[in-house]
Structure 1
Amino acid sequence: MSETKDKIVLHWLQHSRATRILWLLEELKLPYEIKVYKRDSQYRAPQELKKIHPLGRSPLVEIIPEGTSKPVVLAETGYIIQYLLDHYNPSGELVPSSPENRELVKYYLNYTEGTLQSLLVSLLVNSKAKSSAPFGFGFLMNKLVGGINQAYYLPELLSNLSFLDAQLAKQSGGYFAGDRLSAADIILSFPLYENTFANPERASQTLGQSINLVEKFPHIHKWSEKIKDEPGYIKAGKILESKL
Structure 2
Amino acid sequence: MITLHALKYSRATRVLWLLHDLGQSCERVDYDRTENFRAPPALGKVHPLGKSPVIEDNGQLISESATILRYLAEKYRDTQHRPPSGSPEFWRHETLLDYAEASFAEVAMQSILPAFDGKDIPEASKAALDKHLDYISSELGEGPLLFGSALTLADIQISYILALLDRFELLGSHPSIADYWQRLQEQSGYIAALTQVGPMAPPKD
TM-score (norm 1): 0.73
Structure with the larger RCO, 1 or 2 (CA within 8 Å, 6+ apart)? 2
Are residues 1:163 and 2:135 paired?
Answer: yes
- The Cα shift of 1:97 comes to 3.6
Greater helix proportion: 1
Identity of aligned residues (%): 29
Inter-partner Cα distance in structure 1 for 2:69 and 2:57: 13
Larger radius of gyration: 1
- The Cα shift of 1:119 comes to 1.5
Instruction: Give 3-state SS (helix, strand or coil) of 1:167's partner.
Output: helix
Inter-partner Cα distance in structure 2 for 1:57 and 1:96: 29
**Structure 1 segments of 4 or more deviating over 3 A?**
124-131
Are residues 1:179 and 2:149 paired?
Answer: yes
- The Cα shift of 1:51 comes to 1.3
Q: 1:187 to 1:91 in 2, by over 3 A?
A: closer
Are residues 1:44 and 2:38 paired?
Answer: yes
Equivalent residues of 2:3, 2:55 under 8 A apart: yes
Inter-partner Cα distance in structure 2 for 1:34 and 1:166: 37
Aligned residues: 197
Inter-partner Cα distance in structure 2 for 1:130 and 1:184: 30
Inter-partner Cα distance in structure 2 for 1:224 and 1:123: 18
Q: 1:226 to 1:130 in 2, by over 3 A?
A: closer
Inter-partner Cα distance in structure 1 for 2:96 and 2:192: 24
Computed over aligned residues only, the root mean square deviation of the Cα atoms, in angstroms, reads 2.2
Inter-partner Cα distance in structure 1 for 2:114 and 2:181: 26
Equivalent residues of 2:4, 2:27 under 8 A apart: yes
Inter-partner Cα distance in structure 1 for 2:188 and 2:118: 39
Match of residue 154 from structure 1: 126
Structure 1 residues not aligned, in runs of 5+: 1-6, 65-70, 132-141, 205-210
Equivalent residues of 2:97, 2:154 under 8 A apart: yes
Structure 2 residues not aligned, in runs of 5+: 199-205
TM-score (norm 2): 0.86
Inter-partner Cα distance in structure 2 for 1:126 and 1:53: 28
- The Cα shift of 1:44 comes to 1.4
Equivalent residues of 1:101, 1:178 under 8 A apart: no
